[in-house]
Amino acid sequence: MTVLKVSGLTKNFGGLAAVSNVNLEIEERELIGLIGPNGAGKTTLFNLLTGVYDPSEGKIELNVDGTMKSIGGLKPYVITGLGLARTFQNIRLFKNMTVLDNVKLAMNKSVSYSTLAAILRLPSYYREEQRVLEEAVKLLEVVGLAEKQTTLAKNLPYGQQRKLEIARALAAKPKILFLDEPAAGMNPQETTELTELIHQIKEQFNLTVVLIEHDMSLVMKICERIYVLDYGKCIAHGTPEAIKNNRRVIEAYLGED
Q: Enumerate binding residues for other proteins (CB under 8 A).
A: 43, 47, 50-52, 75-77, 80-81, 85-86, 88, 92-97, 101, 104-109, 111, 113, 115, 118-121, 123, 125-126, 128-129, 132, 168-169, 171-172
Distance CA 219, CA 147 (A): 30
> Which of residues 84 and 243 has its CB atom nearest to other proteins in the complex?
84
* Rounded CA separation 3/21 (Å): 19
The helix (run of H) or strand (run of E) holding residue 132 is helix 123-143
Rounded to the nearest whole angstrom, what is the least distance from the CB of residue 132 to other proteins in the complex? Answer: 7
Q: What are the residues facing 34 on neighbouring strands?
A: 212, 227
Residue closer to other proteins, measured from CB, 88 or 227: 88
Judge contact between 172 and 147, C-beta under 8 A: no
User: In angstroms, what is the minimal distance from the CB of 50 to other proteins?
Assistant: 6
Work out whether the CA dihedral 38, 183, 110, 97 comes out positive or negative: negative
Q: In what order do the strands lie in the sheet with 84-86?
A: 84-86, 176-180, 208-212, 31-35, 225-230, 233-238
Contact 198, 167 (CB under 8 A): no
Q: Which is nearer to other proteins, 79 or 142 (CB)?
A: 79
Give CA angle at 53 (47, 55), nearest 5°: 105
CB of 65 to other proteins, least distance (A): 17
Nearest residue (CB) to other proteins, 126 versus 253: 126
Q: How far is the CB of 221 from other proteins (least distance, A)?
A: 27
Q: H or E stretch including 34?
A: strand 31-35
Asked if 11 and 55 count as a contact pair (C-beta separation under 8 A), the reply is yes
Q: Give me the least distance between CB of 250 and other proteins, in Å please.
A: 30
Query: Considering beta carbons, is residue 158 or 253 the nearer one to other proteins?
Result: 158
CB of 237 to other proteins, least distance (A): 24
Residue 117 CB, nearest distance to other proteins (Å)? 8
Distance CA 175, CA 251 (A): 35
Give the nearer residue to other proteins in terms of CB position, either 30 or 180: 180
Closer to other proteins at the Cβ: 23 or 89?
A: 89
Whole-angstrom CA distances from 31 to 179, 223, 225 are: 11, 5, 7
